[in-house]
């Protein structure tokens, strides 16, 4: 293992492209000068296709959780009834944020590792007619589940007047999402996942329908007042000091996505998902999620005959390969591999090959090359 060589395969933060790192090292500029206005003017139209929207995408200095809280405080008020679809740790976080803000929070808990079922949400909405907003997670990072957001949006529209607010933090730019077409009202993401940037930026796209609700929300807000960001962005500015180095990097990220093409970006993520899943099936190691519910950005593996944390320790100590562990009640029972953003099928082949060696080192018999071969076959077939 070379001391400066590391392999980061967690579901965020993710590796950063060298050209993006270079862009972030550009000299600092005045955040109210014309150069910043020009930068924001360049970024604005390139962000919209990533969200699948014609709305402006707001950029806020803060983590993905800042985006989640901004959605809550702008779209609902204390005492309002909301439904939070909880399919893992980050659905639970949405529920915690709502509860902290004295919102009447209904939880619909789904077994971790499974996706929400639109038919069940339809039944819930019919029996709770006063719900003002429904919160859901596009990709549940803690379990590797991709929720059927398009279908959830359809039943919410058909059976309620509720806003549909989606945490897309580990999904947007790695999974195809069409905010306008699917009628999502607020879509949030963060910089450190498939967006290929360090932590520190959150993004929010807001529908016209949601803006009407926000504008009639009497609840006071200062930093998280989305209307302030909207109004300033119209003038190619921000209401507060922007994270300029991250904006330099974001501009380059969007250039890279345009060069590759968004459909190719999504196809690459699906291919890496299929390679990873095929590898562990070949190694006879169980996966947490079904193929139908699997996320293209992160895969959760649930071994039944070895300690996943023991594997993670060997991977880190001997190969400087970092994979994620489980969260909450899944801690110690799963490990997760991130395959999003600046990650290629070649990186997945390397990751699987290292894991095969590490499995044998912890006493788990694994036929060397079997998982790698399965991933190679997916790669050769173009299986995305």
The end-to-end CA distance of the chain, in Å, is 32
CATH architecture of 18-258: 3-Layer(aba) Sandwich (3.40)
User: What pLDDT is attached to residue 298?
Assistant: 98
Residue 32 makes CB contacts below 8 A (sequence gap 6+) with 237
Torsion angle of the four alpha carbons 65, 68, 70, 75, in this order, in degrees rounded to the nearest 10: -170
How confident is the model over 34-46, as a mean pLDDT? 98
Q: How far apart are CA 151 and CA 130, in angstroms?
A: 21
Strands (E), 119-184: 131-137, 139-140, 145-146, 163-167
Q: How far apart are CA 174 and CA 51, in angstroms?
A: 11
| DSSP-assigned states of every residue in 272-333 | HHHHHHHHHHHTT--BSS-STTB-SSEEEE--SSS-HHHHHHHHHHHH-EEEEE--GGGTTT
Which pLDDT band holds residue 382 (cuts at 50, 70, 90)? Answer: confident
What are 284-320's pLDDT values in tens digits? 999 999 999 999 999 999 999 999 999 999 999 999 9
Radius of gyration of the chain measured on its C-alpha atoms:
21
Is 9 one of the annotated binding-site residues?
A: no
Residue 267 has pLDDT above 90, yes or no: yes
Whole-angstrom CA distances from 110 to 87, 188, 314, 327 are: 5, 21, 33, 16
Which pLDDT band holds residue 371 (cuts at 50, 70, 90)? Answer: very high
User: What pLDDT is attached to residue 162?
Assistant: 98
How confident is the model over 57-81, as a mean pLDDT? 97
Contact 67, 189 (CB under 8 A): yes
Residue 103 has pLDDT above 80, yes or no: yes
Which pLDDT band holds residue 48 (cuts at 50, 70, 90)? Answer: very high
pTM for this one?
Answer: 0.97
Same fold, 7-14+262-381 and 18-258: no
Instruction: Locate the domains of the chain by residue range.
Output: 7-14+262-381, 18-258
How confident is the model over 89-103, as a mean pLDDT? 97
Half-sphere exposure of 374 (CA within 13 A, CB side): 18
Residue 22 has pLDDT above 80, yes or no: yes
Q: Does domain 7-14+262-381 have CATH number 3.40.50.2300?
A: no
User: What pLDDT is attached to residue 2?
Assistant: 85
């Amino acid at each position: 293992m070379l001391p400066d060589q590391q392999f980061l395969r967690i579901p965020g933060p993710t590796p950063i492209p060298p050209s993006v790192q270079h862009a972030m090292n550009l000299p600092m500029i005045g955040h109210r000068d014309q150069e910043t206005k020009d930068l924001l003017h360049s970024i604005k139209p390139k962000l919209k296709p990533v969200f699948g929207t014609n709305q402006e995408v707001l950029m806020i200095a803060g983590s993905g959780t800042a985006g989640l809280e901004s959605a809550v405080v702008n779209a609902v008020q204390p005492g309002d009834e909301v439904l939070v679809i909880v399919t893992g740790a980050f659905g639970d976080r949405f529920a915690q944020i709502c509860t902290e803000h004295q919102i009447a929070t209904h939880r619909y808990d789904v077994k971790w590792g499974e996706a929400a079922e639109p038919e069940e949400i339809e039944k819930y909405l019919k029996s709770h007619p006063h719900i003002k907003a429904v919160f859901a997670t596009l990709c549940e990072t803690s379990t590797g589940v991709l929720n059927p957001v398009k279908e959830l949006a359809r039943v919410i529209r058909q059976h309620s007047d509720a806003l549909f607010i989606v945490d897309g933090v580990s999904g947007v730019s790695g999974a195809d999402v069409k905010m306008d077409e699917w009628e999502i009202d607020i879509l949030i993401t963060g910089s450190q996942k498939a967006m290929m940037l360090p932590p520190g930026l959150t993004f929010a796209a807001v529908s016209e329908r949601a803006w009407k609700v926000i504008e009639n929300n009497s609840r006071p807000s200062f930093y998280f007042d989305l209307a302030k960001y909207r109004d300033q962005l119209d003038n190619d500015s921000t209401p507060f000091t922007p994270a300029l180095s991250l904006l330099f990097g974001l501009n380059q990220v969007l250039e890279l996505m345009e060069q590759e093409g968004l459909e190719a970006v999504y196809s690459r993520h699906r291919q890496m998902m299929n390679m990873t899943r095929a590898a562990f099936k070949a190694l006879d190691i169980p996966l947490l999620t079904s193929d139908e519910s699997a996320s293209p950005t992160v895969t959760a593996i649930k071994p039944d005959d070895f300690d996943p944390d023991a594997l993670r320790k060997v991977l880190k100590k001997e190969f400087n390969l970092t994979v994620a562990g489980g969260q909450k009640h899944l801690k110690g029972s799963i490990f997760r591999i991130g395959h999003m953003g600046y990650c290629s099928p070649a990186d997945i082949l390397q990751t699987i090959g290292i894991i095969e060696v590490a499995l044998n080192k912890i006493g788990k018999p694994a036929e060397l090359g079997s998982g790698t071969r399965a991933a190679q076959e997916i790669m050769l077939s173009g299986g995305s």
